[in-house]
């Protein structure tokens, strides 16, 4: 089984046989992801590669292995383990105990194995990987269940690497748009977002995306049916600020349940919650602006729910997401009139058409014509 996972151990042209790289090479639009350069390759390192489902983590890790082989690393010192194919933590331990001399060990989708963290932590403490680089990849479960925190003091030179769908600027770069074509690029980005398969307009991706989200909720022990109802309310009521009680009353559950589900969705990289900022204080109790983190997510869920995709919602959500990626924070403000996005020292109001209200001089007001250049220059 390990030899089938690690075709490079025996096959010279293994990338022509590997399912993930075959899919990657079939794409018309493909790129080497920048995030693989953020992984620490200095022993000992325990790296965590986190990101939403379907974003290309496995493909990126296979590309990293290909690069290492091309640089002269012994292919038999590089191991990739698809943990979905292991039956138990005992099987994982049996495999890892035999990997004392491997330079690189990738544990992909490791959270499919219960108690995996006990095995990895125990072997680290025994010095099993002192000369190795470990890469543990996964989606929501690693964050939701706080596994990353469990390895404090056991990471060596390891890094946390977050893999997200392409930003607008990254999208423009991989599609080779000219700066004069930003508005054309933005229209494509509005519909397809930044996932590799959506950019390549893969007709099967929408259903695969929805199925992967359903599996992820099952993996963390939450109801996908209830999650769908919450997401429906977010889209239906967007771009208005919402309280947990408002959503809870609409679907007949407690506000505590809504909060728990939204926090899980944040950890799954599905949504981001922007709280109200009052001066220098953040009001966590008031209504929140809650947005989906990639345009394709809105497209996919709107298709499933039969909801209209409203441009004013997309514009605001895209700007909020890009400001959050740039500054690591996102808030909104409301006092007489509303400012959609506050991050760092920027205050940004997003309008589908021309603004009719007068805003203070320090507020950037963006209409649909301004947004592409704003995102590109951010």
174-206 pLDDT, tens per residue?
999 999 999 999 999 999 999 999 999 999 999
Q: 342: pLDDT confidence band, cut at 50, 70 and 90?
A: very high
* Average pLDDT, rounded, for the chain: 94
User: What is the Cα–Cα distance from 233 to 242, expressed in whole angstroms?
Assistant: 9
First CA to last CA across the chain, in angstroms? 46
pTM beyond 0.85: the answer is yes
Structure confidence by residue, pLDDT tens digits, 7-44: 999 999 999 999 999 999 999 999 999 999 999 999 99
At residue 144, does pLDDT exceed 60?
no
When pLDDT is cut at 50, 70 and 90, the band that residue 141 belongs to is low
- Burial of 305 (C-beta count, 10 Å sphere; 0-12/13-18/19+): middle
Q: Is 297 helix (H, G, I), strand (E, B) or coil?
A: helix
Which CATH code is given to the segment(s) 168-377? 1.10.10.10
Pick the closest to residue 141 from 116, 177, 122 (CA basis).
Answer: 116
What does the pLDDT read at residue 332? 97
Q: Name the residue ranges covered by the structural domains of the chain.
A: 2-162, 168-377
* Under 8 Å between Cβ of 98 and 127: no
- CB proximity list for 298: less than 8 A, separation 6 or greater: 235, 292, 309, 313, 314, 317
Close Cβ partners of 56 (under 8 Å, ≥ 6 residues apart)? 33, 163, 195, 196
Question: Of 3.40.50.300, 3.10.20.30, 3.40.190.10, 1.10.3720.10, which CATH number belongs to 2-162?
Answer: 3.40.50.300
Structure tokens at 150: 């469990």
| pLDDT score for 249 | 97
pLDDT tens for 301-313 read 999 999 999 999 9
Between 66-80, 98-112, 140-154, 351-365, the lowest mean confidence (pLDDT) is in: 140-154
Is the preceding peptide bond at 44 cis, omega within 30 degrees of 0?
yes
Question: Tokens standing for 233?
Answer: 């309310």
pLDDT digit string, tens, across residues 200-244: 999 999 999 999 999 889 888 899 999 999 999 999 999 999 999
What is the rounded average pLDDT of the residues 283-296? 97
């Amino acid at each position: 089984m390990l030899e089938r996972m690690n075709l490079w151990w025996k096959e010279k042209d293994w990338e022509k046989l590997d399912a993930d790289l075959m899919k990657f090479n079939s794409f018309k639009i493909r790129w080497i992801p920048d995030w693989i350069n953020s992984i620490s390759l200095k022993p000992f390192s325990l790296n965590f590669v986190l990101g939403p489902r379907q974003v290309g983590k496995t493909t990126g890790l296979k590309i990293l292995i290909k690069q290492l082989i091309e640089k002269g690393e012994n292919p038999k010192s590089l191991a990739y383990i698809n943990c979905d194919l292991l039956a138990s933590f005992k099987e994982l331990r049996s495999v890892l105990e035999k990997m004392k001399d491997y330079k690189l060990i990738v544990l992909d989708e490791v959270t499919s194995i219960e108690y995996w963290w006990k095995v990895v932590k125990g072997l680290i403490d025994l010095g099993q990987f002192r000369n190795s680089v470990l890469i543990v990849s996964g989606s929501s479960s690693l964050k939701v269940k706080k596994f990353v925190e469990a390895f404090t003091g056991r990471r060596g030179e390891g890094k946390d690497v977050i893999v997200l769908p392409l930003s607008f600027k990254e999208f423009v770069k991989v599609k080779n748009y000219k700066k004069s074509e930003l508005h054309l690029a933005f229209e494509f980005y509005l519909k397809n977002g930044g996932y590799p398969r959506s950019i390549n307009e893969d007709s099967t991706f929408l259903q695969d995306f929805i199925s992967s989200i359903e599996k992820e909720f099952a993996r963390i022990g939450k109801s996908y049916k209830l999650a769908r109802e919450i997401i429906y309310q977010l889209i239906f009521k967007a771009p208005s600020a919402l309280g947990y009680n408002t959503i809870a009353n609409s679907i007949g559950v407690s506000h505590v349940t809504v909060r728990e589900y939204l926090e899980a969705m944040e950890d799954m990289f599905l949504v981001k919650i922007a709280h109200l900022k009052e001066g220098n204080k953040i009001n966590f109790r008031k209504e929140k602006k809650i947005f989906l983190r990639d345009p394709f997510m809105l497209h996919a869920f709107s298709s499933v729910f039969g909801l209209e995709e409203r441009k004013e919602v997309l514009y605001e959500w895209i700007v909020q997401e890009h400001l959050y990626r740039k500054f690591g924070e996102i808030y909104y403000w409301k006092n007489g009139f509303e400012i959609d996005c506050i991050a760092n020292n920027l205050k940004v109001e997003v309008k589908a058409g021309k603004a009719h209200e007068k805003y203070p001089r320090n507020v950037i007001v963006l209409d649909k014509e301004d947004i592409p250049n704003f995102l590109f220059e951010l």
